[in-house]
Amino acid sequence: MGIAQRKERQKAELRDQILTAAREIVLTEGFEALSMRKIAEAIEYSPATIYLHFATRDEIALQLVREGFAQLLLAMAPVQSIVDPTERLMEIGRRYIHFAMEQPETYRLIFMENPKFSSEVIGQILNNPSEPGERAFAILAETVGELIAQKRFRPVDPEQAAEVLWAGVHGVASLRIACHAAGTKLSEDMEKQSELMLEVMMRGLTA
């Protein structure tokens, strides 16, 4: 059955090409510039061919958001090897903000672009324990729980504290992205800004 396998492989390859081209368009021209025709031109196929792989344009967009989120989670995976929970927590925050600053368009795509896709993907990932990388939020909450158990953190609800920590780093990152090129004095030094946010939140939770 080598022929069938080759066909399947080729089909998957074209699907990949479509997504790669779509990602490129979103990252360079913005989400609203994504169109079937532009993708078709980029991969040098007719627009009709794309419909053999994706039923609608929205399905492509959704997949892009999904992959973007997976990328973000992947970037934070190394923290699992950090033994000290305080250091682990700080590193989660640092890596999170670092990703958002290195790939602002991807971050924007995940959290700021389209509410429909954002909430769908976030909902899927946060509710489905079998998602690749789904454990990110759980790790965050568990780390907080660990610190509470060690009496290093005050006895707060770990899940709620985890959400506050997430909101804190998301706030620094997304405010920066929203204000980017605004010509303000805001966040000239992101490094210092991030560190202060993390320090303030750690101190605020410390017993």
Partner DNA sequence: GTCTATAAATCGATAGAC
Partner DNA sequence: GTCTATCGATTTATAGAC
- Site residues (vs a second copy, CB under 8 A): 30, 32, 108, 111-112, 115, 118-120, 122-123, 126-127, 156, 159-161, 163-164, 166-172, 174-175, 177-187, 192-193, 196-197, 199-205
Q: Answer with the entry of DNA, a second copy, none that 98 interacts with (C-beta below 5 to 8 A by kind).
A: none
Nearer to DNA, 34 or 169 (CB): 34
Which residues, in sequence order, are CB contacts of 77 under 8 Å at separation 6+? 133
- Yes or no: say if 135 and 125 are a contact pair by the CB < 8 Å rule: no
Nearer to DNA, 56 or 80 (CB): 56
Nearer to DNA, 46 or 80 (CB): 46
| Residue 12 binds to DNA (criterion: CB under 7 A) | no
Nearer to DNA, 56 or 119 (CB): 56
- Yes or no: say if 53 and 36 are a contact pair by the CB < 8 Å rule: no
- Yes or no: say if 187 and 176 are a contact pair by the CB < 8 Å rule: yes
Which of 43, 51, 48, 58 has its CA nearest to residue 13?
43
Which of 160, 19, 174, 29 has its CA nearest to residue 99?
174
Q: Measuring CA to CA, how many Å separate 47 from each of 40, 55, 126?
A: 5, 12, 34
Nearer to DNA, 13 or 191 (CB): 13
Least distance from a second copy to the Cβ atom of residue 65, Å: 11
- As to burial, measured by CB atoms within 10 angstroms (0-12 exposed, 13-18 middle, 19+ buried), residue 195 is middle
Least distance from a second copy to the Cβ atom of residue 40, Å: 22
Least distance from a second copy to the Cβ atom of residue 149, Å: 19
One-letter identity of residue 33:
A
Which of 104, 110, 115 has its CA nearest to residue 125?
110
x/- map, 35-74, DNA, by CB under 7 A: xxxx-----xxxxxx-xx--xxxx----------------
Q: Which residues bind DNA (CB under 7 A)?
A: 7, 10-11, 14, 33-38, 44-49, 51-52, 55-58
